[in-house]
Structure formats: structure tokens, C-alpha cells
């Protein structure tokens, strides 16, 4: 491992130093600290150092994410540091990671998912209301085409406008001005920040399906660093891994990203993995949605411990059955193919073109 470093602890014992890269925002630091705490518990002899940095997405705050056109807005600088051996692993929100990672990198851990749904945070003068009961033409802030497309159709009496910035900035914009009646944020981020009391309404999948990977944390490593890969692999949550492989495979097959409205909902129930996926026009008037399922029980139990290093949509999970991971990936591809056969490509192409001209 190129950046391997050691230091002496207070007892004169040699400690291995592992450097963890993260974005500078408060939420990113909280998420990274939670991963560091888990690693420290599992590997008490390892010394962890956190290296925080700003990404392109953190710096460009006056443009909607979907307009910037860069797939790795919140990850590029962190991956550069990983490539240059300045850090050994990077903690991301999985939804920020493109479905195809740069060569030489892999997702070595996907942690147990927090609630993946979106949440409504109301301006104080509207406390007690819901999206349904807000006055006509109330303005809702969201920087997500996916959220806006679904909610425009579901709540036609509301208006939707872009709002950028990290969680703290967006809440400040809501609270200190009267530009927005409410903003839509990921429930997971609010919960991790300890701000659950700000959640006025959690949007169930019937109102607004979530983004691919939303609510899950990912640890990205250099694929060749087998020792680091082994170290972080114990953080994998099997159900979350399978759900997110299916979601990422669906998005990859559709060639979707920030610039098109694609949404998902997954569930593991009775050894079955269910994936619902949808694509939308920008105003939500045109959409395609369907659900498929697959078994996630390995036919041969001996396969469950196979040390298999095949990446599936960027994820390496050596202790989860290769057969089951292949089924989860195939589920995502098959559902995308079903929607493509019904006209999803045309819907997304028009959405992309309209977004480019906005």
C-alpha cells in the first residue's frame, strides 16, 4: 500500500495510520466520523486520520446540479487524493457516486441504509401543514429533477424552484427568508445531523420515490489494496448491498444521472428482492414505472463465502454470494430494459434536452 504509514502510540507500540478522505461539510464529517468510529471499534490498533477537502459540487453554488453536467461533482477531488495515495479510503454518500467508477477504484463497503425517503421541511409560518394543504402556488425548494418531476404531478397546486448549498445553507435559506414555503431534503441527512425535529412530513414512495443509493454510505478504496478492501468489507450490510447493486444497475442501463429524473424503491422481503423503478418527464406529466423481483437465496449454500472479486456496478463485496449479487444486478438491468422497451429512452432524451435549454 503506497501511503502506508506507521506511528508510535503512548506505549511505544507501532500503530498503522489509515487516512480517510471526506468532503468538508458538517454532514460529510458526521458521516465519515461514524464510519471511522466503526473501524476504530473493529481495529483498535489502527490510527485513523481524517482528511477533509472541498469538491467541485461544494464550490459551484449558483447553478443547479443537473445543469453542471459533471457526473463526479462531489467525488472527483476525493478520488484524485485516493489515486495520489494521499488518502487510503474515502467515505461518500452512495448517491453521489457515479455507476461507473474510474479505473482502479472500487466501493469496498456499503453500510446499513438509513431511511432512504425524502422529507419535507416547512417554513415556520406553515408548521402543521403538509404538501397537500399548503396554499396554492406555494414555492417548494429542491435542486433535484427527480423530486420536482414526481411532486409536480402529485401536487399540481405547488411551484418548484432550485435551491443549492449544503444542508445547513439550504435550511438557512428557508428559515431566514420567505422565498420558500418548504424545501425537500433527504430524511437520512437530517437524521444524521440530529435534526429529525425539522422533518414535517416524510414522503412515502407513493408520493416520491428516492434516488439510487439514497440513505446509504459507501467506502471507496483502491481496488489493488486488498488489505484495505478486506478491512472495510466487514462494514457491508448484505441487504443494503443487494438493494443498491440492483438500483445502480438500473440507473446504469438507463444511462441516467443528475440530469434526468430517475427514481427507485427497493425492498427485501421473504428472501425476495423487489425493485420498483421509474423515469419521468421534467414536469412529471409523462412517466413509466414498473416492478420486478428476484430471489436472493443462493442455490448452493457453499457459494456464500466465495471470495469473489468481481465488481458489480462498482461494488466489491467478497463475502456475499456471487450468484446472488449477479441476480441483483440482472434485476436492475432487466427492469431498465423493460422500461426502455416501453419508451423510457425517449422520455429521458426529451428531459435531458429540455434541461439543457432551461
pLDDT at site 301 = 55
CATH number of 118-202, picked from 3.10.105.10, 3.40.50.150, 3.30.1490.20, 3.40.190.10:
3.40.190.10
Q: Which of 153, 123, 155 is nearest to 137 (CA)?
A: 155
pLDDT at site 56 = 55
Q: Which of 9, 62, 88, 96 is catalytic?
A: 96
Tens digit of pLDDT per residue, the chain (358 long)?
Answer: 344 455 545 554 556 899 999 988 899 999 999 999 999 999 999 999 999 987 654 444 444 544 444 445 557 788 889 999 999 999 999 998 989 999 999 999 999 999 999 999 999 999 999 999 999 999 999 989 999 999 999 999 999 999 988 899 999 999 999 999 999 999 999 999 999 999 999 999 999 999 999 999 999 999 999 999 999 999 999 999 999 999 999 999 998 666 789 999 999 999 999 999 999 999 999 999 999 999 999 876 544 444 456 899 999 998 899 999 999 999 999 999 999 999 999 999 999 888 888 7
- How far apart, in whole angstroms, are the C-alpha atoms of residue 237 and residue 188? 16
- How far apart, in whole angstroms, are the C-alpha atoms of residue 55 and residue 232? 24
Continuous H helices in the chain: 26-42, 56-59, 65-68, 76-83, 145-154, 167-176, 187-192, 226-233, 238-254, 322-341, 344-357
Strands 118-122 and 201-203: antiparallel
Query: What residue spans define the domains of the chain?
Result: 9-115+213-357, 118-202
Helix 145-154 vs helix 344-357: crossing angle, to nearest 10: 110
pLDDT at site 2 = 40
Q: Any catalytic annotation for residue 96? A: yes
Domain 9-115+213-357: state its class: alpha beta
- How far apart, in whole angstroms, are the C-alpha atoms of residue 300 and residue 66? 44
pLDDT at site 59 = 46
- How far apart, in whole angstroms, are the C-alpha atoms of residue 121 and residue 123? 7
For residue 201, give the C-alpha cell. 412530513
* Residue that has been written with the C-alpha cell 423503478 in this structure: 277
Bridge partner residues of 268 (DSSP): 273
What pTM does this model have? Answer: 0.89
Amino acid at each position: 500500500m503506497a501511503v502506508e504509514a506507521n506511528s508510535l502510540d503512548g506505549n511505544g507500540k507501532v500503530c498503522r495510520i489509515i487516512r480517510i478522505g471526506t468532503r468538508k461539510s458538517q454532514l460529510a464529517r458526521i458521516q465519515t466520523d461514524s464510519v471511522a468510529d466503526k473501524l476504530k471499534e473493529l481495529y483498535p490498533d489502527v490510527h485513523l486520520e481524517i482528511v477533509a477537502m472541498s469538491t467541485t459540487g461544494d464550490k459551484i453554488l449558483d447553478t443547479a446540479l443537473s445543469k453542471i453536467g459533471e457526473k463526479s461533482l462531489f467525488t472527483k477531488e476525493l478520488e484524485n487524493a485516493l489515486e495520489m495515495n494521499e488518502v487510503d479510503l474515502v467515505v461518500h454518500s452512495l448517491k453521489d457516486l457515479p455507476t461507473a467508477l474510474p479505473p482502479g477504484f472500487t466501493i469496498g463497503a456499503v453500510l446499513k441504509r438509513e431511511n432512504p425517503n425524502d422529507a419535507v421541511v416547512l417554513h415556520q409560518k406553515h408548521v402543521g401543514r403538509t404538501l397537500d394543504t399548503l396554499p396554492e402556488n406555494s414555492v417548494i425548494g429542491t435542486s433535484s429533477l427527480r423530486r420536482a418531476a414526481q411532486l409536480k404531478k402529485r401536487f399540481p397546486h405547488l411551484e418548484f424552484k432550485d435551491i443549492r448549498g449544503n444542508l445547513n445553507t439550504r435550511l438557512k435559506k428557508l428559515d431566514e427568508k420567505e422565498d420558500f414555503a418548504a424545501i425537500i431534503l433527504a430524511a437520512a441527512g437530517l437524521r444524521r445531523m440530529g435534526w429529525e425535529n425539522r422533518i414535517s412530513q416524510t414522503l412515502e414512495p407513493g408520493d416520491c420515490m428516492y434516488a439510487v443509493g439514497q440513505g446509504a454510505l459507501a467506502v471507496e478504496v483502491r481496488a489493488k489494496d486488498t488489505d484495505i478492501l478486506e478491512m472495510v468489507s466487514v462494514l457491508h450490510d448484505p441487504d443494503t448491498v443487494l438493494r443498491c447493486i440492483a438500483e445502480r444497475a438500473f440507473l446504469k442501463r438507463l444511462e441516467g444521472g443528475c440530469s434526468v429524473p430517475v427514481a427507485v424503491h427497493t425492498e427485501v422481503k421473504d428472501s425476495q428482492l423487489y425493485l420498483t423503478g421509474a423515469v419521468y418527464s421534467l414536469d412529471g406529466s409523462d412517466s413509466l414505472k414498473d416492478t420486478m423481483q428476484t430471489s436472493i437465496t443462493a442455490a448452493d449454500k457453499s457459494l456464500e463465502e466465495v471470495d469473489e472479486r468481481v465488481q458489480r456496478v462498482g461494488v466489491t463485496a467478497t463475502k456475499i454470494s456471487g450468484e446472488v449479487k449477479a441476480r441483483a444486478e440482472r434485476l436492475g438491468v432487466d427492469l431498465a430494459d423493460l422500461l426502455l422497451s416501453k419508451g423510457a429512452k425517449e422520455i429521458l432524451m426529451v428531459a435531458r434536452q429540455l434541461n439543457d435549454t432551461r
